[in-house]
Amino acid sequence: MRPKTLLLQATLFLTGVSSAAEPSLTKEQTDFFESKIRPILSETCYKCHSEKEGKSKGGLTLDTRDALRKGGDDGPVIVPGKPGESALIKAVTYDDPDLQMPPKGEKLTDKQIADLTQWVKMGAPDPRAPTPPAASPGLGDKARAHWAFQPVKAPAVPAVENREWNANPIDAFVFKKLKDNGLEPNPVATRETLIRRASFDLTGLPPTTEEVAAFLRDTSPGAFERVVDRLLASPHYGERWGRHWLDTARYSDTVGGDNKKGGDYRYPYAWTYRDWVVHAFNQDLPYDQFIKAQLAADLLPGAPKMDLAALGLLTVGERFQNANDTTNDRIDVIGKGFLGLTVSCARCHDHRFDPISMADYYSLHGIISSTLEPAERPVIFTPSATQLADFNSKLEVLEATNRTHYYKAMGKVLEDIQGNITEYLMASRFGKDTTAEQVKEVNQLMAKSGVNRDLLRIFTRVYGRSQAVFGPFRRLAELPEKDFPAQAAALIEQFTKPLPERPAGTKAKFDKGALARKVNPLVVQAFTGARPQNIREVAEIYGKIYASLGKRREAYFAAAAASKNREDVPGFTDAEAQLIEVPFDIEPAGALNTNHLRFVIETLPNQFPGRNNFNFAAITDLLLTHPGAPVRVMSVADAATPKDSRILLRGEVKSPGPEAPRRFLEILSPDKKEVWKEGSGRLQLANAIASPSNPLTARVAVNRIWMHHFGAGFVPTPDDLGNNSEKPSHPELLDYLASRFVNEGWSFKAMHRLILTSRAWQQSSETDSRSTTADPANRFVWRANVRRMDFESVRDSLLVYSGQLDGTVGGRPVNLAETPYSRRRAFYGFIDRGNLPDIMQAFDFSNPDMPNSARSSTVVPQQALFFMNSPMVTDTARKIVERPEVAKAANDQEKLAAIYRVILQRAPTAREFTLGLQFVKASGKDNSIPSAAEVEKVRKRDEQRRNDLKKRGGDKAAPITPGIIAESDPLTPWEELAQVVLMSNESSYVN
Amino acid sequence: MNDLNCSDLRPLRAEDYLLSRRHFLERTGMGLGALGLGSLLSQAQAAEAVKGAPVNPLAPHAPHFPAKAKHIIHIFASGGPSQVDTWDPKPELAKFADKTLPGLNGLSFPSPFTFQKTGQSGIEVSELFPKLGKFIDKMSVIRSMWTDIPAHDIAQRFMNTGALQQPRPSLGSWAVYGLGTENQNLPGFITLGGNKEHRQASFLPGAFEGVNVNYSTKQPLDEVLHNIRNRYVSADHQERQLALAKQLNELHAARLDRDTQLEARIQAFEMAFRMQTEATDAFNINKETEATKALYGAPASDMGSKLLVARRLVERGVRFVQVTHGGWDTHQGIEDRLATKCGEIDGPAAGLLADLESRGLLDQTLVLWGGEFGRTVTRDRNGGESPGRDHNGRGFCCWMAGGGVKGGYAHGSTDDFGARAVSDKVHVHDLHATILALLGFDHTKLTYRYNGRDFRLTDNFGNVVKQVIA
């Protein structure tokens, strides 16, 4: 939550502060209290003296200003201004054997005692609320007693007499619940339905006609179990379930909307995280290890290098200008993703509903803030030498262009400024505080002396950095006009006179010759003996200095561009180089790799001429498309000196409170006192989350698995199992599965097998009015829900029907928005969180800005337009009719049946035969659009668009990737019919 | 947040009627009598829901209380128009011309433009708005706007979504969520250009997201509205296709007790089919008379053409149309640039008001013009010879007309120099609260539960500016 979204409690708190009678404190006083005193009080005193905690030993509470001032049973504990008379100070110094606080020898450090003494001496300034803020109900006992925070205890499987419903423990729980509620379960679905449902559930793809036929033929026992095993072994399983996880992980290939200025908008390596996830699911990586790898693969002993890709969980989120917002995104994904808790709500105030305090939030904040991204992303895979060479040669061309552009642009800017340095110095000499007269003077200068406004802005902004060259000018410009010649002479004398060597051991800052030592020798030389009468004459000296460089600047740029050296440019003295480079640092070519150049360019002012003409986008395109690009990962590493974060009161950076030690959420910590000092704390965090005794982790996981198989979770909000969520529909079953999940080694595949072989899952989706009336939402699972296919399944199915699907697993992202349309699974689509393609939005693709494990399932006309008019769907209809079993069908009936089998995996009913054949017969040949000319026009336009996109390289756009260009002819009657079946509800739903 | 989680009879939310009727009835506790209470559903819809017909999130529904405004056309002047040159005259600035202003950093920069008392109300209007000025007696000018952070992206997000940083639903999404829309052949919220963030539904269901059309008279419509035209099947064939699809769907649904979503999908196809003609028609300004086009300066004027499209959309029942008019970030050369920018909008906006009025639509259509913040009354340091103004969040202006807004009224004021709003200050949240009030909503009750919290457009803030409501 942003500061603006303060809830009631925070408002009270604010009101409390403003109504406080404390005379307004200075910033220093407040800071002293917040940084030194509050931590002592809260860490060592509150446990016995806190109104909020309900502890008031000796009648003393210390957690509000008024209470502290009032004192305890023995009277006031402080006398402001007089530490000697304050009982508090006496107590902490342990001077009096009868009054020692904190007791039991936990004496404060000398520093802490000194701080307290100093504070009382200052008058004990105390910015806290006079009375305690109302405690958030989220921290109360009732909130703590919430079921999801209690340990998982596996309940006994209920005894069920019905033989059909007692083989699988899931069924026993479900059946009992149905009986308790007076409901009857549905019969088992047809075998065609079962294989279709299982295929979509486990792989997101429809079964092929052959797979359906084989299953229908196999009447031996265990036939369905074999189908399930085949699907679980399919590499497409990982894509389906990996995608579910990527919804939770708010996966995207771009940074997002807020941070596109000059920065790298696209993540060229996000896909390595995506591929790691696929691999993990396909391997059935135990879920506890899955968690640990994503939080701390870099810290796990013996983890393969490839696992570094898993850390993308933390890094593929949105990036914000404010680092705390980025940290918040990472806390959010950990909280909701693994724990089903909205931890990020505690950023500005204690959580309103759940026992998560601000201290909890900032404990995690410290962990995330102590985690950094390495400047050079680690390589996990190097392609073949030939591919690499090809990539390098292409990269070198692009980088060379950038370098050439860099030296040209820099050279031009420096030539313009340095060639006219006298005027630039004069125009920029007022700095920021400009009066009317000064503004006028600058304007006049600009008008007559060729000073360019943009360059002047750049120069003004950066010349302050170049003390060695312009320091003397700046100092001289500060002198009063009246007495200028004399004062200037003295100053010039000071920095031009030869100085004796600095005696050993002298500190530089006490060295009177400091300025002289720092000033560029060529500048010193030019000023030696000079007696300027006014500031313009000073500026003119600089004019002469630069004029004396002659052609050296051009030579310098040529040498820099040719230099392989990383440090400096050969053939020039340091003094010369410094003079030529100001007000910038010119990098030799050897140091200018793309990362570094990007950094250099991003730090240039916006007005820098040519700043936007670098082809970084083309380089990212190359990284995103070239098979020879070394594969890197978006990993993280611990900071060299990990630090605790301070609680930001009301979430505001300007109001830092006490430090929150790095540790786990208090409500989930068996040992409430444990703090994490070693490293960032990520590894400890991972272990605490992936612990069998964590009450939330397994529940959250099985609730999601259930949701994806049944269309609704036990708890309908998969990312929030806290106090705000609805009660689970089957609490016992949820706990049974959670505990079984852990006991069976955190295996997803074991869970799928258990669920898909349950009678509960295998029910038909049909309805009966009695059950509909009693349980309209099907909370008790008396039927299978009818589920709309998600975006990926809709698109992938089309490719399966048309026989075009490229089933390659893994790899760089493909373009889903443009033609040619990709043959890869939608899972591999480039996801731009700043600009999701319309088609993905229309089909409720998960919003990648935040964790969203459940997708919505809306029905909007854009979906219909896609099925009616998109080239991809019409093209699919064509290709279905071209399939051999359709094209070579013996007669119209067979043809129709074949189309049905491809799309719906079943034969048509008698009524469907009649309707379909009637349609084809009536269609005739009068479909006269489009005209040949229009076809040609459209084709040309599409091609033009593709070329434009390619040329532009688009800083944000998904790269254009290979695929199919749809045909443009009018549809034949059979193709029209196939399209109708594609449009039908049944083809978009899983029954 | 006083209605947070504390009532057992909570108002309905879109998710309720996006889910099937069964979910819906269950979630509302089946208390049909309760449906009317604070409900966003019309009686007819509630009855429909009970009967078993599909519940469409975009179906029109009544707001909390009767109101005049049924549509909004938001002309978003992105970039931050200068207040003292447009709607907030400050003669005091001239007294300090090129001198440091007391209490402010920088040199006074009096407006190069003159103002004249206009209309019966006698409100002073800048010479930049000769045509729009004629409508001053229909307008409420708010001169005391202020915002939190004067950076473009943040302030624009704030103006359009009520949030500084986090993704939140846009004003238009809230409006359509609250009211539905009147034409089921067109989306309820359409934007002509502008940033995606400013039309996002965020956590509201996707149906409430603004549909953007990068409208330009130069571009064929099928390039701006995806899949709007079929290139492979003629219209009559497609109609037959849809007829067959409907028959097949009914066979399928029969076994499933007419599941609500399945029925909604049948309707979506029908709407999509109609949209192909309706949308194509709505965006075709060639169907207007020459006289009407001349009123807007269309098609020569880009803004004129867009506002004409906006009127055509509103006329067809579209709830919320946003037209973005950028280029107001006048750091330098303000004299020329403002003349250009104001010239671009003056005629078209006046044409829009005249056209709406003559068609009897002005009463029910709220027209809002304004940017994300104002500008300094001092010279931008970098302006040089042709000066401009820097960003200023502490004072700016906007105007509204039609839709139940008081005419000939100027609300609030800035200080003597126009730098800071001082009396009857209107924060962005207040503006949002007022717009919702004009649409018939109590902004504190138009909420949506997400992530365990009831969210609203105005966050926990906002006071309705009652004075601007007629």
Of A875, A862, A900, A859, the residue nearest A822 (C-alpha): A875
> Over 60: is that where the pLDDT of A508 sits?
no
Task: Return residues 1-30 of B near A (CB < 8 Å).
Answer: 1-2, 4-5, 15, 18, 20-23, 25-27
- Determine which of A2, A5, A653, A909 to mutate to test the interface with B (most B C-beta atoms within 10 Å): A5
Residue A75's pLDDT band (boundaries 50, 70, 90)? confident
**Which range, A7-16, A700-709, A959-968, B211-220, has the best average confidence (pLDDT)?**
A700-709
* CB-CB neighbors (< 8 A) of A847 in chain B: 167, 202-203
Segment A894-934, tens digit of pLDDT:
999 999 999 999 999 999 999 999 999 887 655 555 567 76
Strand partners, B378: B108
Say what the pLDDT of residue A881 is.
96
- Determine which of A318, A339, A853, A868 to mutate to test the interface with B (most B C-beta atoms within 10 Å): A868
ipTM at complex level:
0.77
Instruction: Indicate the average pLDDT of chain A.
Output: 87
Instruction: Indicate the average pLDDT of chain B.
Output: 84
Residue A175's pLDDT band (boundaries 50, 70, 90)? very high
CA angle at residue A709 from A706 to A710, to 5 degrees? 80
Residue A876 Cα, gap to closest chain B Cα (Å): 13
- pLDDT exceeding 90 applies to what percent of chain A? 52
Answer whether A719's CB lies under 8 Å from A336's CB: yes
* CB-CB neighbors (< 8 A) of B166 in chain A: 1-2
Closest partner residue to A457 among B2, B223, B382, by Cβ?
B382
Task: Return residues 237-296 of B near A (CB < 8 Å).
Answer: 237-238, 240-242, 244-245, 247-249, 251-253, 255-257, 259, 261-262, 264-269, 271-273, 275-276
> Cβ A257–B265 below 8 Å, yes or no?
no
Of B311, B252, B246, B250, the residue nearest B272 (C-alpha): B246
What phi and psi, each to the nearest 5 degrees, are found at residue B72?
Answer: -130, 135
CA angle at residue A284 from A283 to A285, to 5 degrees? 90
Please indicate if any CB of chain A lies within 8 Å of the CB of B120: no
> Cβ B240–A844 below 8 Å, yes or no?
no
* CB-CB neighbors (< 8 A) of B208 in chain A: none
**Distance (Å, rounded) from C-alpha A358 to C-alpha A346?**
5
Segment B428-452, tens digit of pLDDT:
999 999 999 999 999 999 999 876 6
> Cβ B382–A786 below 8 Å, yes or no?
no
- Omega cis (within 30) before A102: yes
What phi and psi, each to the nearest 5 degrees, are found at residue B289?
Answer: -70, 160
More confident residue, B171 or A962: B171
More confident residue, B253 or B18: B253
Say what the pLDDT of residue B31 is.
27
Answer whether B356's CB lies under 8 Å from B315's CB: no
Task: Return the minimum-mean-pLDDT range out of A90-104, A187-201, A547-561.
Answer: A90-104
> Over 50: is that where the pLDDT of A736 sits?
yes
Segment B389-423, tens digit of pLDDT:
989 999 999 999 999 999 999 999 999 999 999 99
Task: Return residues 350-409 of B near A (CB < 8 Å).
Answer: 379, 381-382, 384-385
> Cβ B100–A856 below 8 Å, yes or no?
no
* CB-CB neighbors (< 8 A) of B384 in chain A: 442-443, 446, 453
Closest partner residue to A915 among B99, B209, B244, by Cβ?
B244
Segment B351-378, tens digit of pLDDT:
999 999 999 999 999 999 999 999 999 9
Segment B78-133, tens digit of pLDDT:
999 999 999 999 999 999 887 888 878 778 899 999 999 999 999 999 999 999 99
Say what the pLDDT of residue A950 is.
61
> Cβ B26–A777 below 8 Å, yes or no?
yes
Give the chain B residue nearest A768 (alpha carbons): B257
Say what the pLDDT of residue B37 is.
27
**Distance (Å, rounded) from C-alpha B466 to C-alpha B470?**
8
Please indicate if any CB of chain A lies within 8 Å of the CB of B151: no
Read off the pLDDT of each residue in A144-173 and give the average, rounded to a whole number.
Answer: 95
Closest partner residue to B252 among A2, A779, A985, by Cβ?
A985
Give the chain A residue nearest B247 (alpha carbons): A915
> Over 60: is that where the pLDDT of A725 sits?
yes
Say what the pLDDT of residue A358 is.
94
Residue A198 Cα, gap to closest chain B Cα (Å): 20
* CB-CB neighbors (< 8 A) of B259 in chain A: 767, 786
Token pair in block for residue A4: 């603006």
Q: For residue A508, give every residue at least 6 positions away whose Cβ sits within 8 Å of its Cβ, in sequence order, or none.
A: A502, A514
Token pair in block for residue A672: 């409430």
Q: Which helix (H) or strand (E) holds A861?
A: helix A861-869
**Could you give the C-alpha distances from A104 to A53, A99, A100, A108, B268, in angstroms and in order?**
20, 11, 8, 11, 74
Say what the pLDDT of residue A465 is.
64
> Cβ B272–A325 below 8 Å, yes or no?
no
Segment A320-333, tens digit of pLDDT:
877 898 999 999 99
**Distance (Å, rounded) from C-alpha A388 to C-alpha A396?**
12
- Determine which of B104, B209, B228, B244 to mutate to test the interface with A (most A C-beta atoms within 10 Å): B244
Give the chain B residue nearest A978 (alpha carbons): B241
Give the chain A residue nearest B458 (alpha carbons): A5
* CB-CB neighbors (< 8 A) of A855 in chain B: none
Task: Return the minimum-mean-pLDDT range out of A119-123, A369-373, B135-139, B440-444.
Answer: A119-123
DSSP H helix total and E strand total for chain A? 45, 10
- Determine which of B32, B101, B154, B232 to mutate to test the interface with A (most A C-beta atoms within 10 Å): B232
> Cβ B107–A439 below 8 Å, yes or no?
yes
Task: Return the minimum-mean-pLDDT range out of A6-10, B65-69, B447-451.
Answer: A6-10
Q: Write the single-letter amino acid at B15.
A: E
Read off the pLDDT of each residue in B247-272 and give the average, rounded to a whole number.
Answer: 81
**Distance (Å, rounded) from C-alpha A142 to C-alpha A71?**
31
Answer whether B240's CB lies under 8 Å from A923's CB: yes
- pLDDT exceeding 70 applies to what percent of chain A? 90
**Distance (Å, rounded) from C-alpha A621 to C-alpha A391?**
12
Say what the pLDDT of residue B21 is.
36
Task: Return the minimum-mean-pLDDT range out of A251-265, A748-762, A810-824.
Answer: A251-265
More confident residue, A809 or A120: A809
Residue A588's pLDDT band (boundaries 50, 70, 90)? confident
> Cβ B164–A2 below 8 Å, yes or no?
yes
Residue A53's pLDDT band (boundaries 50, 70, 90)? low
> Cβ B100–A860 below 8 Å, yes or no?
no
Residue A152's pLDDT band (boundaries 50, 70, 90)? very high
Task: Kindly report the number of other CB atoms within 10 A of residue B216's CB atom.
Answer: 15
> Cβ B253–A864 below 8 Å, yes or no?
no
Q: What dihedral do alpha carbons A226, A229, A235, A241 form, nearest 10°?
A: 130
> Cβ B460–A434 below 8 Å, yes or no?
no
Say what the pLDDT of residue B79 is.
94
Of A399, A336, A337, A328, the residue nearest A364 (C-alpha): A328
- pLDDT exceeding 70 applies to what percent of chain B? 84
**Could you give the C-alpha distances from A912 to A878, A900, B240, in angstroms and in order?**
20, 10, 15
Say what the pLDDT of residue A945 is.
67
Say what the pLDDT of residue A92 is.
87
Closest partner residue to A859 among B223, B227, B261, by Cβ?
B261
Say what the pLDDT of residue A462 is.
66
> Over 90: is that where the pLDDT of A724 sits?
no
Residue B117 Cα, gap to closest chain A Cα (Å): 32
Give the chain B residue nearest A841 (alpha carbons): B206
Token pair in block for residue A81: 């201004």
Of A519, A460, A459, the residue nearest A492 (C-alpha): A519
> Over 80: is that where the pLDDT of A656 sits?
yes
Rounded to whole angstroms, the maximal C-alpha distance in chain A is: 111
Residue A838's pLDDT band (boundaries 50, 70, 90)? confident
Read off the pLDDT of each residue in A228-248 and give the average, rounded to a whole number.
Answer: 98
Say what the pLDDT of residue B66 is.
93
Say what the pLDDT of residue A502 is.
56
Residue B260's pLDDT band (boundaries 50, 70, 90)? low
Please indicate if any CB of chain A lies within 8 Å of the CB of B450: no
Residue A355's pLDDT band (boundaries 50, 70, 90)? very high
Say what the pLDDT of residue B16 is.
37
Read off the pLDDT of each residue in A458-469 and give the average, rounded to a whole number.
Answer: 74
